[in-house]
Amino acid sequence: MNAPLLSPQDGRTDGPDHVLIVDDDAEIRTLLATYLGRNGFKVSAVGDGRAMWRALEATRFDLVVLDLMLPGEDGLTLCRDLRARSDIPVVMLTARGEETDRIVGLEMGADDYLPKPFSARELLARIKVILRRARSLPANLQPDSARRLQFAGWVLDTQARQLESPEGVVVALSGAEYKLLRVLLAHPNRVLNRDQLLDLTQGREADPLDRAIDVQISRLRHRLGDDSRDPRVIKTVRGEGYVLAAPVTVLA
């Protein structure tokens, strides 16, 4: 599955938003396709990951509704691989409602997470919010004109979405890690709180007990070799948030 995917911006027209539903339950596919269709969306529906990739390689979609429990590759794996290749918004559906599962889904790059059973009306509302936010993203999350950004000896390639160490070693980033690092690089030496980071990276507000950003910061520090007990690159400002404590240079 290495063919380039069509992004929401490719060949964009003024027609209805096109949603791809990926769920192995035929009844749910039919219900959602009918409901979203009645509310102004163009809808395609498939039952597994293979069919999802075929659809994405053939057609431009504006959003994917992706079930977690699928035959073959599960939704988390599909979401991770999709996010590595495309910026298409993803809403994950799952019968699991535990906080850990939700955090993992968001870390894989999902834009929102809806546990089953859910109402089609709630899904519609979330889809509208995600699409609205995706089209009003701040400049730092629009397609990058700056291909390479250097900080603390590291280089982020915004086209390949790869991080290069000071020694020239390529370090893999998940979709969520890339988004978070890109936001921090757009605001060097500025403290950003959890609500701001969640809004800029995922287009949502933090729940009172939401620790998704803390987990992502910890993992990003690990990628950068930044000691969590005494970080030098991504610092914690107690009671306020996090700050990228390094100058950022545009290389190209």
pLDDT at 98: 60
- Of 112, 72, 80, 109, give the one whose Cα is nearest residue 94: 112
Structural contact between residues 182 and 244, judged by C-beta atoms closer than 8 angstroms: no
Round to whole Å and give the CA distance between 178 and 224. Answer: 12
pLDDT at 150: 94
Residue 34 in tokens: 């009918």
> Could you report the per-residue pLDDT of 11-57, keeping only the tens digit for each?
455 679 999 999 999 999 999 999 999 999 999 999 999 999 999 99
Read off the pTM: 0.59
Structural contact between residues 147 and 133, judged by C-beta atoms closer than 8 angstroms: no
pLDDT at 147: 79
Round to whole Å and give the CA distance between 252 and 250. Answer: 6
Which DSSP helix (H) or strand (E) runs through 250? strand 248-250
Work out the number of other CB atoms within 10 angstroms of the CB of residue 219.
Answer: 16
Which domains are seen in the chain, by residue range? 18-135 (3.40.50.2300), 148-251 (1.10.10.10)
Low-confidence ranges of the chain (pLDDT < 70): 1-14, 96-107, 134-146, 202-210, 252
